[in-house]
Amino acid sequence: MKHVNFLLLGTSGNGISSLGNTLLGQTCFKTSSDLHATENIAVKGSSALRGDCRITVVDIPGIDTDNKNIDALKSFKALIQEALRLCEDGFTAIVFVLQFWCRYTRQEQETLKLIKATLGEGVITKSTVCVFTHGDLYKHESEIFITWCRGQKGNIQNFLAECNYRCVLFNNKTKDVMNQDKQLEELLKLATETESYTLSHFQLAEKERKSLEEEISSPILAQEASMFFSDMQTKLKSLEDEWTGSNKDKLDLLSKYQEELLKFEGELVNKNLKPGNYINPFGSIKVLKVNIQTKCKLAESEIKLESLNDQFKTQHHRFNRNSSTRATFPARSSTIETTERFPQETKSFKRQNDGRRSLREENVRSYNLQKARGKGNDQSKDTKRCILL
């Protein structure tokens, strides 16, 4: 028995779930009018035999490209992973759904861009069939549908050419069994021309997903980076112009700013914002790092200078206190000096007295001798005078 697996993709409101029900021949999927916004899950439905094959359809909620952010991209990626889990053998064809009577808009182009970025650049060329819904509005009865497709211009022409004009018109409202079977047979025939899409293809498309993530994230991250840098520069300028606290507190605050900068740099690296995407954030981070490091060194120098100044004041205070103590007790120093000089002065005085005593004794002997010999009075007077000395 032949098994055919279809993955239905397209913009919200294009009749994706209605197409799924038509393919299965029964109501398995809720249409957009019944589906609540919170029901954002991939749904699998299987039909009974349709001809000689069993058809399995996985319906993914319509893609909302107006909500273009990294969370929407991750949500769509998760839906594709869930769809591949539901069909482990992969999909015979990816079915991209358009409305016949609506213009091919920028939203359709963004949807295709998201599909190619998530499933791989070659998914449209190799694995996609385009189904136009609202076939009941096709009034070009004299022109077969494929001829109408080849005659289109502009962006839709580019898309149809990219999928090699694998196009089919579906009328989900028809109750005519023959028309239903004819539509299905045409789709199954086109599906045989496609390359199956499997988990291995999805894994190989990781590079394209990363690229789209960067493209979506860059403007947002660039804006966040710009605001962060502006705020940090304002803080540093305020610290330079208005700081009245201590240098230690200033150094602590600069260290905190440095930690914030390193944390933000790590976030940018994790989010894959690279130089050249809108701004060069890492160049700005480098400049801020140098600025903060310079201010840290200046603060450290000021702290060391304050420490040296405090040491000098302490030593100066001790010196003044010691000088004051010596000035309060001057007699002690004089007493010590007098005591140290006293023995020497005593010895000198004793020598002088001994010398005078010897001289007197000498004069007395001389006087007595002259007196005994009967010398004159003048000499006696001189002798007396010498004795008195």
pLDDT in tens, 72-104: 788 888 999 999 999 989 999 999 999 887 788
pLDDT at 379 over 60: no
β-strand partners of 389: none
Give the pLDDT confidence of 36-56 residue by residue, as tens digits.
444 567 778 777 667 788 899
Tokens standing for residue 104: 């091919």
C-alpha to C-alpha distance for 85 and 75, rounded to whole angstroms:
15
**Residue that is written with structure tokens 């394209």 in the block:** 208
The least confident of 198-202, 290-294, 317-321 is: 317-321
The least confident of 149-153, 163-167, 316-320 is: 316-320
Mean pLDDT of the chain: 79
Contacts 24+ apart (CB under 8 A), 186-193: 187/23, 187/95, 187/129, 187/131, 188/4, 188/51, 188/53, 190/93, 190/129, 190/166, 191/4, 191/6, 191/92, 191/93, 191/129, 193/164, 193/166
At 9 the pLDDT is 94
Average pLDDT of the segment spanning 6-22: 89
Rg over CA atoms, the chain: 55
Q: Which of 7, 65, 22 is nearest to 169 (CA)?
A: 22
pTM for the model: 0.59
pLDDT at 388 over 70: no
Q: Which of 347, 242, 240 is nearest to 296 (CA)?
A: 240
At 313 the pLDDT is 81
Average pLDDT of the segment spanning 226-233: 84
pLDDT at 131 over 90: yes
C-alpha to C-alpha distance for 300 and 306, rounded to whole angstroms:
10
At 79 the pLDDT is 92
Using 50, 70 and 90 to split pLDDT, how confident is the model at 350?
low
Using 50, 70 and 90 to split pLDDT, how confident is the model at 317?
confident
pLDDT at 159 over 80: yes
Instruction: Decide which of 162 and 26 is more confident.
Output: 162
What DSSP letter does each residue of 24-69 carry, written as one string?
A: HTS--S--TTT--TT----EEEEEEEETTEEEEEEE-PPB-TTS-S
Instruction: Decide which of 167 and 232 is more confident.
Output: 167
